[in-house]
Structures are given as structure tokens and as C-alpha cells.
């Protein structure tokens, strides 16, 4: 029988599913609302991004475990900025970046992504996977869609709970799907 500490350690890991780090496991801390994007959802998302991920500059808002940003870097993105408001979570993302020798391709910002953040440059792909409870997604999109962080052809990935009503008139949904209790979509500015 597995000990409680061993079970917790196994439970707090993500596995990179594609690219140069395929199969690598990364740890993440316990944190309220932290819910890594499931393997099958990431697989679908990165199939959608085929042809757009190589060389892309990515912004992983509400980074949590860092699963989306690390998956993007593993598959050839040139850069990822990880944003999270939990210092312990962001510290583990930095540790995982060092383990993968990805610090030269990574930036880390301790900030609440539901409020305007100060990051230089613009991004090709933005990952939005906020906590499922509360207004974080709407608040983030309110400032993000008019910010200089987006290019006219930037893609924005949005993940919500299955039953969450979600719509933003500034975005066109390119692809969308559900898996279990999660709805996820790839969008672009109109």
C-alpha cells in the first residue's frame, strides 16, 4: 500500500505529453484552485496548435502547474512567460524550468492575471486557465483584449468548467470541445 505522502507526491505531478520533454514528470505544490489541464485536453489543444507553436511566444496566465507553458516549450515555442499570483506555485514553475534547462526561454511574473500586468512584447499564443470559481476569466479578458500583448492574429486558449456560461463578443471561437467537466476553446480577436 502506498503511503499518504507518496500518494500526494504522485498526485501533484504532471507529465509532458509531446515534444522534446515527452514523458518528463514535473511536480507542483498544493494550492487552492490549482487544477492542471488534463493530458487529453492538452493533446487536443496542441493538435489544434500544430503549425502555430514552433517559434511562438506564449503567455501562460494563471500558470498553476505550468503544464500549458511547458508543453508549448517542449513542442518548439521560442518563449513562455508564466504568470501566477501564488509565490510558492511560481517558485515551483521556476524550479521545473531549471530542471528542463528552459530558463533562457522563460520569464516568471508574480501577479494577479485578472488585473493588468506589466510584460514587455507581444504574444502569439495566450493560455487562460483560471480557477473555475470567481470572475478571474472575465476580468482578465476585459484588459487583455485591448492590450498591446496581443497581435492581430494571436490565439487565446480559454478553459472553463463545463457548465460555466462563457462568451466574449471580441473573440471568435475557432475550435471548441468538452472533456468531462471541462469546456475548452481556441479563440482569436475579431
Note the pLDDT tens digit of each residue in 19-35.
999 999 998 987 877 77
Task: Count other Cβ atoms within 10 Å, centred on residue 144.
Answer: 23
- The H-assigned helical ranges of 50-156 are 67-74, 87-99, 136-144
Whole-model pTM: value is: 0.91
Smallest CA-to-CA distance from 83 within 118, 55, 49, 53 is with 118
Ranges of the chain whose pLDDT falls below 70: 1-10
What is the model's pLDDT at position 10?
53
**Whether the Cβ atoms of residue 170 and residue 145 lie closer than 8 Å to each other:** yes
What is the model's pLDDT at position 31?
80
Number of domains in the chain: 1
What is the model's pLDDT at position 6?
39
CATH number at residue 177: 3.40.50.150
What is the model's pLDDT at position 134?
78
Residue-number span of the structural domain to which 161 is assigned: 4-189
Amino acid at each position: 500500500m502506498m503511503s499518504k505522502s507518496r500518494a500526494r507526491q504522485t498526485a501533484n505531478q504532471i507529465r509532458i505529453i509531446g515534444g522534446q520533454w515527452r514523458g518528463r514528470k514535473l511536480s507542483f505544490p498544493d494550492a487552492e484552485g490549482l487544477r492542471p489541464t488534463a493530458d487529453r485536453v492538452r493533446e487536443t489543444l496542441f493538435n489544434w496548435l500544430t503549425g502555430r507553436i514552433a517559434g511562438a511566444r506564449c503567455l501562460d496566465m494563471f500558470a498553476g502547474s505550468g503544464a500549458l507553458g511547458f508543453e508549448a516549450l517542449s513542442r518548439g515555442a521560442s518563449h513562455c512567460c508564466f504568470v501566477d499570483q501564488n509565490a510558492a506555485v511560481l517558485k515551483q514553475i521556476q524550479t521545473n524550468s531549471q530542471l528542463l534547462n528552459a530558463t533562457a526561454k522563460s520569464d516568471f511574473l508574480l501577479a494577479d492575471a485578472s488585473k493588468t500586468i506589466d510584460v514587455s512584447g507581444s504574444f502569439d499564443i495566450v493560455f487562460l486557465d483560471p480557477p473555475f470559481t470567481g470572475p478571474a476569466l472575465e476580468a482578465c479578458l476585459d484588459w487583455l483584449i485591448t492590450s498591446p500583448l496581443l497581435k492581430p492574429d494571436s490565439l487565446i486558449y480559454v478553459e472553463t468548467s463545463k457548465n460555466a456560461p462563457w462568451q466574449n463578443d471580441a473573440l471568435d471561437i475557432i475550435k471548441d470541445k468538452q472533456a468531462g467537466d471541462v469546456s475548452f476553446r481556441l479563440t482569436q480577436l475579431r
